[in-house]
Amino acid sequence: MAARKMATKVLNNKTCKQITDLVYAYLNDRLKPAVKRDFQQHLRICPDCVSFLNTYKKTVGMTRSLRAEDMPSKVRENILDFLRRRIRKTRASA
C-alpha cells in the first residue's frame, strides 16, 4: 500500500510532459539525484513514458549513423530552421 501511495505522489508531482522534458538530461546523466529518483519512479508506473524513452533512445541511435552529406539539402535546411527557432524560443523564455 505504501508503494501505491508513493507512486501516486510521484505521478501527481510530475506530469508526463515534465518527465519527457527531462529525457535528454537523464540519458546524459545530468539530472540531480532527487530528480533522477523521481524520474525513475515515474517510469515504474507510466508505460507511456517508458515507451517514449525507448523510442527516443532508438531515434538517437539511428540518427548517429546519418551523415549530413547524405541528407537531402531540403531536409537539412528544415532541421536547421527548426533548431534555430527552438533556440530562439528557449532564449526568449529564459
28 within some domain: yes
User: What pLDDT, on the 0 to 100 scale, is given for residue 50?
Assistant: 95
| Residue numbers of the domain that contains 58 | 2-66
What angle is formed at CA 85 by the lines to CA 65 and CA 32, rounded to 5 degrees? 70
pLDDT surpasses 80 at 13: no
Structure confidence by residue, pLDDT tens digits, 42-75:
999 999 999 999 999 998 888 888 887 888 989 9
27 within some domain: yes
Nearest Cα to Cα of residue 39 among 64, 14, 66, 59: 14
Pairwise CA distance, residues 23 & 36, whole Å: 10
Structure confidence by residue, pLDDT tens digits, 35-49:
999 999 999 999 999
User: What pLDDT, on the 0 to 100 scale, is given for residue 3?
Assistant: 43
51 within some domain: yes
11 within some domain: yes
**Number of domains the chain contains:** 1
Consecutive H or E run containing 4: helix 2-13
86 within some domain: no
pLDDT surpasses 70 at 2: no
Instruction: Confirm whether pTM is higher than 0.75.
Output: no
